[in-house]
Chain A
Amino acid sequence: MDTNTVTQAAQIVSTAALAKLGAGLAVGLGTLGSGVGIGVIFGKSIESAARQPEALPLVQRLMFTGFALVEAQALYALLITFILLAAK
Chain B
Amino acid sequence: MGESHVIVHMPIQWFGINLSITNFVVMLWVAAVLTFLFLAGAAWSLRLTGEGRFPNLVEALLDFVRENVSEAFMGHHGAKWFPFVACVFFFILFGNLLGLVPVPGYFHAATSNLNVTATMAVLVFLIVQVVAIKVHGLKYYWGLLFPKSAPAWLRFTLMPFIEVIGIFARPFSLAIRLFANMTAGHQIILVLLTGELVGVTWMMHQGIVWKFLWPAPLVGVIAMDGFEIFVAFIQAFIFALLTALYLGEALEESH
Contacts and interface: CB of A to CB of B under 8 A. Distances in A.
Q: Decide if A and B are genuine partners.
A: yes
Interface of B: 1, 68, 173, 176-177, 179-181, 183-184, 187, 234-235, 237-238, 241
B68 A61 contact: yes
B180 A78 contact: yes
A65 B173 CA distance: 15
A67 B233 CA distance: 13
Given A61-B68, A86-B1, A69 B180 contact: no
Contacts of A18: none
Identify which of B177, B183, B235, B241 gathers the most chain A CB atoms within 10 Å of its CB: B177
Interface in A73-88: 75-76, 78-79, 82, 85-86
B181 A67 contact: no
A76 B238 contact: no
A63 to B, nearest CB: 11
Nearest to A77: B180
A56 to B, nearest CB: 14
B176 A76 contact: yes
B85 to A, nearest CB: 15
A78 B184 contact: yes
A73 to B, nearest CB: 9
16 contacts: A61-B68, A65-B237, A65-B238, A68-B235, A68-B238, A72-B177, A75-B180, A75-B181, A75-B184, A76-B173, A76-B176, A78-B180, A78-B184, A82-B1, A82-B187, A86-B1
Interface string A30-52: 00000000000000000000000
A79 B180 contact: yes
A72 B1 contact: no
A85 B1 contact: yes
Identify which of A69, A75, A76 gathers the most chain B CB atoms within 10 Å of its CB: A75
Given A65-B237, A72-B181, A76-B177, 17 more contacts: A61-B68, A64-B234, A64-B237, A65-B241, A68-B235, A68-B237, A71-B181, A72-B173, A72-B176, A72-B180, A75-B176, A75-B177, A75-B180, A76-B180, A78-B184, A82-B187, A86-B1
Contacts of B1: 82, 85-86
Contacts of B241: 65
A47 to B, nearest CB: 22
Contacts of B184: 75, 78
Q: Top 3 closest A-B pairs, CB basis?
A: A75-B180, A72-B177, A68-B238
Nearest to A57: B68
B120 to A, nearest CB: 15
Contacts of A72: 173, 176-177, 180-181
A61 B68 CA distance: 8
